[in-house]
Structure 1
Amino acid sequence: MKRAFAIISGVVFFFCACGEDGSSIASLPDAAVPDAATVDVAIPDAGPAMCQVERPKSRFTVAVVPDTQYLFDQDRIYPEVLTASLRWIVDHAREYNIVFTAGLGDITENHLPSEFEAAAGVYKILDDGGMPYSSPAGNHDMTRSSQFDDARGKEPYLDYFSPTRPGNHPTLGGASPNGYNSYYIFDGGGQQWLLLALDWRMSRDSMRWAEKVIDEHPALPVIATMHEMVDRRGAAGDPPNESGVLSSYGQTVWDNLIKNHDQIFLTLNGHFWTPARTTLKNAAGHEVHLHLTNYQDRYYGGSGMIRLYEFDLEHGTIDVSTRSPYMEAIPAAQRLPAQEQEVELVDADNRFVETIDFGARFSGFRGPAAPPPPAPLSVEQVVVPGTVAYYRFENTAGGAVGDTIPDRSGRGNDLTRVTSSGGAAADITWTNEYHPAQPSRGALFFNGSKSKPPSYLRTVDSAPVNTMTFAGGYTIEAFVRPPADCCSDHAWMGVLSRFAPGSASGKTGDDPSEPLATLSFTDSPMLQWAIFPTNYDGIKTNWSHIFAADIWHHVAIVNDGHRTVMYVDGAPEVRNPRSETVGIAAADKPWLIGAYSYDSKVEQAYYGWLGDVRIVDHALTPAQFMTARP
């Protein structure tokens, strides 16, 4: 095989003759080199021409185009550099089995229409070549006054790089209503993959949109791309795979999107300098690989550097390489030293292999689509006969909780807010979070701590529940979600409890300063239900197992008049006392929601989310819990 490089007036034209049938002729135009005569470079035959070689079916490649802003900067326009990169991708799509090309933002330097027009003209190479791609915005693609939230309204960027620009390519799955976020589904290695192309500053609505996209495709592995996520760690000498650290905004995206969606296994971003990567464990305990790739401050505006992510599903690897097709097109004999060093980057930050057991990594979400969450229930459906109190924490307006929350059972056991001296209004707030099987669609967040004045809820003084002993039995239910950093610094925080100690009801056994009843989290975290029953002088306790934090759980305490059983997520626990346990001793003191008291003093407030709470005056079966549906 022979390749010819024609150098005419400082422009290199690269030709690759592929096979006798002439099925593919590739060209890379416009690589600037000193004037010279035409040069024929003979390359020994090594079998079929490269652009005719096909990867095995289990192997495919995703190409990545990082920041190109210095190539499209006012009158400093150098489209030929990006032209070489995108032409290389199209011409080598068959050789590398390139199935998608992902942009990382900062297409332009000054978000000018003239800059976008020049860049969009180059991207037409991918349009014409049938190469599916994404091109999300970076901060330099936005006006200075509207960078910081994608609810910014229409920008010139959307005139040139809206998600529908590639002619509604079949891989395009959809876009957020504001047009700044999109998702794509493509085939690779015999399966489908989902790629999120996210704005550099997502609003809360766009974050929810991204979550919805993932939830609607529960069996697909997800690659999340955006302009900002990982920064370079400041310390020198870090191992390459530990050289990255989440930026402040990256931490926000991690906490609100990536960490809790196990399908996301890889993130790619630009923006910062220099390339770096790190690996973090998500809420499911699985690794997420996070890569920063950006070359804009290298020679020649980054030389149109591209990354290739070559997936090998059979051997469980992603082979990552970095190259400049623009510099590569210049014959070696003609390259200047500054050009030679840009041809291919082979240092550990730019040429490496990620090892992933794809089968094991994706096993947690493969299989049939999860059923949709059950429909919410009305108040009338939840207030079953015998309901003593029902608290429903819905408020779409958000913000701090006010003075009162009504008892939706109609029995008058209303709640009033208590903010201790030095406490903050924001320590109890309305949220739109909820357990999927919860009757309502909202929850409270309590920001309690042992080191700050507690804010909590309590029943009003006239509440009938304050004096009830539940001798015939009871069912107490709550939806709880302790945060990921719970609970070593929040041990024994109360979900709900009595303000009165055991001594207020004449109890002298065990520790009579403990409350008459409390459902509290230990530091594990596990739940403890501890009460002074009416038929016993001391304390009886029920315990849960240790369960995952930052995940919603339903807990129910059920007493049939003789014995108490704790249920977590509908399943009975084993650490339930078998001895006779009748009712709950009472004093004419309030119940507390989101707090724990000792010796008639509230010691700390709850830390975490709390959904619907219901108290019923008899034992319910799991089929009658708030998680059940008619």
Structure 2
Amino acid sequence: MKRNIKQQSFFNELKKWVISAIFIILALLVLSSCADRAKPFNLVLLPDTQVYSRLYPEIFRSQTEWIVQNADSIAFVLQQGDITDRNSEEEWQNAVAAFSVMDGKVPYTFVPGNHDLGPGGSASNRDAELFNKYLPYDRYSKMAHFGGAFEPGKMENTYHTFRAGGLDWLILSLEFGTRDKILRWAGEVIEAHPKHKVIINTHDYMYSDDTRMSIDRDHSWIPQRYGVGEDTGDESVNDGEMMWEKLVSRYPNVLLVFSGHVLHSGTGQLVSTGIHGNDVYQMLANYQSGVEGSENGGNGFLRIVTIDPENKTISVKTYSPYINEYKTEPDQQFVFENVQLH
């Protein structure tokens, strides 16, 4: 009888311990979930690094070193093309030296700009031999968050997934002068990720007058005016307005479009409503030589995009880790409010 009482006492204590452990685990899961939902996170944009690759590799490296130092708050780094200026071996070596600082520390993606294609960076054709030699598919396809490519073995058009702020995200990184067949592929990738918020990362899309690049508005630097723009059929290029009509506006989960390429002020922003009623936040940022007020190929300025799902905001700041300064003009520092993230 005493043994049964002892056994019963043991099982009662065990039951209490198990129940307590379950409550603790559930509490931790709830707290973890809440933290995931509430925590803002940053994206970092590295537009048009071409002059750094040619003349100021130390500036390019200062950007990626700062990113690694702040990796805990950065979910993803997106480079908007024109990685190099003249598509030369030396420039690609400098670019890879800067990029590789981030390897295994923070995920990143990139696209070819017009200066990364063709002989001398002319974009007279779609020769991306050096782009794929120095940024090889065999290496990057093995990295965390890599989702796939339009053409296995080539990195010109890729997609990536990650989770931040309690949400699933999809990045589509698309080539300069994005072709019809690439836009169709991108649409298929979006359709396969209906619950992901979509970010489109490309070289040429927004213009400095706060509209999308368009041949109909006689904009400069449109892809139709380069050698690659002479192709027809499935190889036909698309400017920003065409990309909006054929891809960006068509899916309810598209949220952001980032681009570079354009000079003048090097900035532009536009909020447009897609056919499903979703707002799409579209931004141009460029700091390279030729942009008004640019020094040293851009002086290391990059964009910090902070997404805060709880407060429904997307905040943008422009900062240079090279000179430790912010740009605070209204086109360089601003906030989008009432952003529908859920």
Smaller-chain TM-score range? 0.7 to 0.9
Equivalences for 1:401-420 in 2 at 5 Å?
none
Compare relative contact order (CA 8 Å, sep 6+) and give the higher one, 1 or 2: 2
Structure 2: gaps spanning 5 or more residues? 1-34, 216-238
Corresponding residue number in structure 2 for 1:84 = 62
Kindly state the Cα deviation for residue 167 of structure 1 after the two structures are TM-superposed: 6.2
Corresponding residue number in structure 2 for 1:347 = 329
Count of aligned pairs: 276
**Contact 1:162–1:180 under 8 Å retained in 2:** no
1:140 and 2:115 are equivalent in the alignment: yes
Counterparts of 2:184 and 2:212, CA distance in 1: 24
Q: Work out the percentage of aligned pairs sharing the same amino acid.
A: 30
Counterparts of 1:113 and 1:350, CA distance in 2: 33
Corresponding residue number in structure 2 for 1:262 = 252
Question: Which of 202, 209, 214 is equivalent to 1:247?
Answer: 214
Corresponding residue number in structure 2 for 1:213 = 189
**Contact 1:132–1:166 under 8 Å retained in 2:** no
Question: Which of 194, 203, 206 is equivalent to 2:179?
Answer: 203
| Counterpart AA for 1:227 | H
Counterparts of 1:192 and 1:55, CA distance in 2: 11
Q: TM-score, normalised by structure 1?
A: 0.42
Counterparts of 1:92 and 1:107, CA distance in 2: 22
Counterparts of 1:276 and 1:205, CA distance in 2: 27
Q: 1:233-256 CA deviation, whole Å, 9 max, x = no partner?
A: 1xxxxxxxxx34433410111111
1:127 and 2:100 are equivalent in the alignment: no
Q: CA, structure 1 residues 349+123, in 2 after alignment: closer, same or farther (shift >3 Å)?
A: same
**Contact 1:127–1:166 under 8 Å retained in 2:** no
| SS of equivalent to 1:291 | strand
Q: 1:534-559 CA deviation, whole Å, 9 max, x = no partner?
A: xxxxxxxxxxxxxxxxxxxxxxxxxx
Counterparts of 2:158 and 2:327, CA distance in 1: 30
| Counterpart AA for 1:260 | R
Equivalences for 1:96-107 in 2 at 5 Å?
97-107=73-83
Q: CA, structure 1 residues 251+68, in 2 after alignment: closer, same or farther (shift >3 Å)?
A: same
Counterparts of 1:356 and 1:71, CA distance in 2: 37
Q: CA, structure 1 residues 201+140, in 2 after alignment: closer, same or farther (shift >3 Å)?
A: same
Q: CA, structure 1 residues 164+303, in 2 after alignment: closer, same or farther (shift >3 Å)?
A: farther
Question: Which of 285, 309, 315 is equivalent to 1:313?
Answer: 309
Equivalences for 1:40-439 in 2 at 5 Å?
57-73=38-54, 76=55, 78-94=56-72, 97-128=73-104, 130-143=105-118, 147=123, 152=126, 154-166=128-140, 168-177=142-151, 178-233=154-209, 243-248=210-215, 249-273=239-263, 274-297=266-289, 298-328=294-324, 343-359=325-341, 362=342
Counterparts of 2:59 and 2:70, CA distance in 1: 17
Counterparts of 1:305 and 1:213, CA distance in 2: 32
Q: CA, structure 1 residues 146+324, in 2 after alignment: closer, same or farther (shift >3 Å)?
A: closer
**Larger % of strand: which?**
1
| Counterpart AA for 1:251 | E
**Contact 2:37–2:167 under 8 Å retained in 1:** no
| Counterpart AA for 1:100 | F
Kindly state the Cα deviation for residue 302 of structure 1 after the two structures are TM-superposed: 0.4
**Contact 2:115–2:122 under 8 Å retained in 1:** no
**Contact 2:37–2:309 under 8 Å retained in 1:** no
Q: CA, structure 1 residues 301+176, in 2 after alignment: closer, same or farther (shift >3 Å)?
A: same
| Counterpart AA for 1:311 | I
**Contact 1:62–1:98 under 8 Å retained in 2:** yes
Give the RMSD, CA atoms, in angstroms. Answer: 2.1
Kindly state the Cα deviation for residue 182 of structure 1 after the two structures are TM-superposed: 0.5
Counterparts of 1:62 and 1:247, CA distance in 2: 27
Q: CA, structure 1 residues 198+175, in 2 after alignment: closer, same or farther (shift >3 Å)?
A: same
Larger radius of gyration: 1
Q: 1:412-453 CA deviation, whole Å, 9 max, x = no partner?
A: xxxxxxxxxxxxxxxxxxxxxxxxxxxxxxxxxxxxxxxxxx
**Larger % of helix: which?**
2
Q: 1:200-222 CA deviation, whole Å, 9 max, x = no partner?
A: 12222211111111011111110
Counterparts of 1:191 and 1:215, CA distance in 2: 17
